[in-house]
Amino acid sequence: MDDKGYESLKIENIVASGVIADSIDLAKVSETVKNCELNTKRFPGAVYRIENPKIASLIFSSGKVVLTGIRNKQDLQDGLKIIIGSLKEAGVDAFDEPKVAITNIVCSYDMGKYINLNKVVITLNLENIEYEPEQFPGLVYRIENPKIVALLFSSGKIILTGGKNMEDIKRGLDFLEQRLESIM
């Protein structure tokens, strides 16, 4: 499938994680950095929100970080610069080159046609499918290679998650569309 088939594929969220320092004094950071909250009764890390790009980061005393709400690779780079800069201003010995990588990309896709989920369950490999419409209206399809989880809805909307890059997401979508074409 060429890129023309992907026009309705949209990145909804990118999650990245890694290490930005050897250790971080969260109490000091949360007192010093604006929009950084620490409530150890509720969560063991600090939550630092930045507005532009709009990213929420979970910062741990171990120096590890999880970033979410990212929309593209440039936002990840820009957001990391802001976070590292804020931490350095707060006295943290943050790495100049943080070791942070994308761990999950969540995309939405619209097939543009109705999907008969009951027919999908009957026809496709049941080991990779979970479908309990009384509990959740979507069908969960676990693709083995690439390792992607797809949520299919009868409306034709699909959520793809688990990819670490867009190539994996597109390969997973291609595989899924081939499987669905054979039964629709």
88 and 120 belong to one structural domain: no
74, amino acid identity: Q
The pLDDT of residue 10: 95
Neighbouring residues of 10: CB distance < 8 A, sequence distance ≥ 6: 107, 108, 109
82, amino acid identity: I
Instruction: Answer whether residue 9 is part of any domain.
Output: no
Q: Could you tell me which of 20, 61, 70 has the C-alpha nearest to residue 43? A: 61
- pLDDT digit string (tens) for the chain, length 184 residues: 344 468 889 999 999 999 999 999 999 999 999 999 999 999 999 999 999 999 999 999 999 999 999 999 999 999 999 999 999 999 999 999 999 999 999 999 999 999 999 999 988 877 789 999 999 999 999 999 999 999 999 999 999 999 999 999 999 999 999 988 878 7
The pLDDT of residue 30: 95
Instruction: Answer whether residue 6 is part of any domain.
Output: no
64 and 128 belong to one structural domain: no
Domain of 25, CATH number, reads: 3.30.310.10
45 and 73 belong to one structural domain: yes
Instruction: Answer whether residue 3 is part of any domain.
Output: no
126 and 174 belong to one structural domain: yes
Instruction: Answer whether residue 131 is part of any domain.
Output: yes
20 and 94 belong to one structural domain: yes
The pLDDT of residue 1: 39
Instruction: Answer whether residue 4 is part of any domain.
Output: no
147 and 81 belong to one structural domain: no
- Beta-sheet strands, E only, within 22-93: 36-38, 46-50, 55-59, 64-70
Instruction: Answer whether residue 90 is part of any domain.
Output: yes
The predicted model scores a pTM of: 0.88
Taking residue 120's Cβ as centre, other Cβ atoms within 10 Å add up to 19
Q: Could you tell me which of 180, 126, 171 has the C-alpha nearest to residue 147? A: 171
The pLDDT of residue 2: 44
Instruction: Answer whether residue 93 is part of any domain.
Output: yes
2 class by beta-carbon count within 10 Å (0-12 exposed, 13-18 middle, 19+ buried):
exposed
Q: What's the domain range around 84?
A: 16-102
The tokens describing 41, both together, are: 């009764």
Whole-number Å distance between alpha carbons of 69 and 82: 15
